[in-house]
A = this chain, B = another copy of it.
Amino acid sequence: MREVAIVGTGMTRFGELWDSSLRDMFAEAALAALKDAGASVLDAIYVGNMSAGGFVKQEHLGPLMADALGMSGVPAVRVESACASGGVALRTALFEVASGASDIVLAAGVEKMTDGADVTDVLAMAADQETEAYHGITFPGLYAMIARAHMEKHGTTEKDLAEVTVKNHRHGALNPKAQFRREVTVEQVLASSHVAEPLRLLHCSPVSDGAAAVLLCPLDRAKEFTKNPVKILASGMATSSLALADREDPAFLDAVHRSAERAYAMAGVGPGEIQVAEVHDCFSIAEICCTEALGLVERGRGGEAARSGDTALGGRIPVNTSGGLKSKGHPVGATGIAQAIEICDQLRGAAGDRQVKDAKIGLCQNMGGSGASSVVHILGRI
């Protein structure tokens, strides 16, 4: 594989962006990434998006977005893996550049969730329709079952779940792009209403609009575009059964584990060498399960890690310095790209108040459904 770098990044603020349409947000993020790299021509575009069909009755985002950039003609493809659509856009764009077929490729993600659709109903299409969604399961319900299984097996408590929320809001309060720029306390989390027991409102990521984009090129051309490119050291992906009931251990996200194993092998680094990580905390229990499956935290100790400050800024392995999905927001198709941008910012020393000192290697992990698909990228400072 030809080596590939990220040479530009751009994203919208995440939130309820009622003044911006799907194409408005995409163009804002994509043009910011192009400007960041001083680039004006693209060989191809990948658009990560979960369900613009469900949310705003729009499929076929490739040509729509190429046109919105004033680049009609450029090959443009939408890729989807539910909430991991952004991570998959980065992966497919990587392969196109790595193959030598193209040089300058945009990997972007976008989702417009606040335009009137029944969000819970649309998101449920990421679960198994025939064995889960049809019977009324929702994603808070699925992750509540994962939380119960983790509590039973490892003694994780409701307070542990709250600690993840508190940490991520503390990080997100420092992020100008975050949907919720405010801290919360453990007491506030534990006093918020139940959504699906044991998960409370403040254990759940919000419904968000937003877009994010990164520009890729061959590593040997990176300096044409930026003084501080970021090298893509590895991309790992794995799937698991779509239906939660078909997994051996609902408290262990096997697709996350396998995707990480593949990425570590490709990069030639181990979890101990990761200095900063963005992981998929769609619910606070998800961060606990993901940090364990990634090997960043010992199995069964994800709750303890949040409680002890291990995964906070200044801790042993800072996780979700952006605020994570919980505080930064979760426009589902955009999330995987926004994670990569946070890691790029950390490696470029551009993370401001959230900077992890001298970060050289970072990881981002993006997940679909109840963990049925997972994509891990490992990025490195050059």
Residues of chain A at the chain B interface (Cβ within 8 Å): 1-2, 21, 44, 50-51, 53-54, 56-64, 66-67, 72-82, 88, 91-92, 95-96, 98-101, 122, 124-130, 133, 235, 237-242, 246, 254-255, 258, 368-369, 372-373
Contact = CB atoms under 8 A, between A and B. Distances in A.
Contacts of A100: 1, 98-99
A72 B1 contact: no
Given A95-B92, A101-B95, A239-B72, A80 B59 contact: yes
Contact of A60 (B64, B76, B125, B235): B125
A23 to B, nearest CB: 8
A79 B88 CA distance: 10
A62 B1 contact: no
Nearest to A56: B129
Given A62-B373, A63-B240, A246-B67, A77 B92 contact: yes
Contacts of A96: 92, 95, 99
A241 B76 CA distance: 12
Contact of A242 (B51, B64, B125): B64
B99 A63 contact: no
Given A51-B59, A100-B1, A128 B77 contact: no
Nearest to A89: B77
Contacts of A61: 80
Given A59-B51, A60-B368, A101-B95, A76 B129 contact: no
Given A50-B59, A67-B246, A98-B99, A75 B125 contact: no
Contacts of A133: 57
Residue of A91, A99, A133, A235 with highest tally of chain B CB at under 10 A:
A99
B368 A2 contact: no
A81 B88 contact: no
26 contacts: A51-B53, A51-B59, A57-B124, A57-B133, A58-B129, A59-B126, A60-B125, A60-B127, A60-B372, A60-B373, A62-B81, A62-B239, A62-B368, A63-B81, A64-B372, A72-B241, A73-B239, A73-B240, A77-B92, A78-B80, A92-B96, A95-B96, A96-B99, A98-B99, A98-B100, A99-B99
Given A60-B242, A77-B79, 4 more contacts: A64-B372, A67-B246, A99-B99, A99-B100
A59 B88 CA distance: 14
A43 B74 CA distance: 29
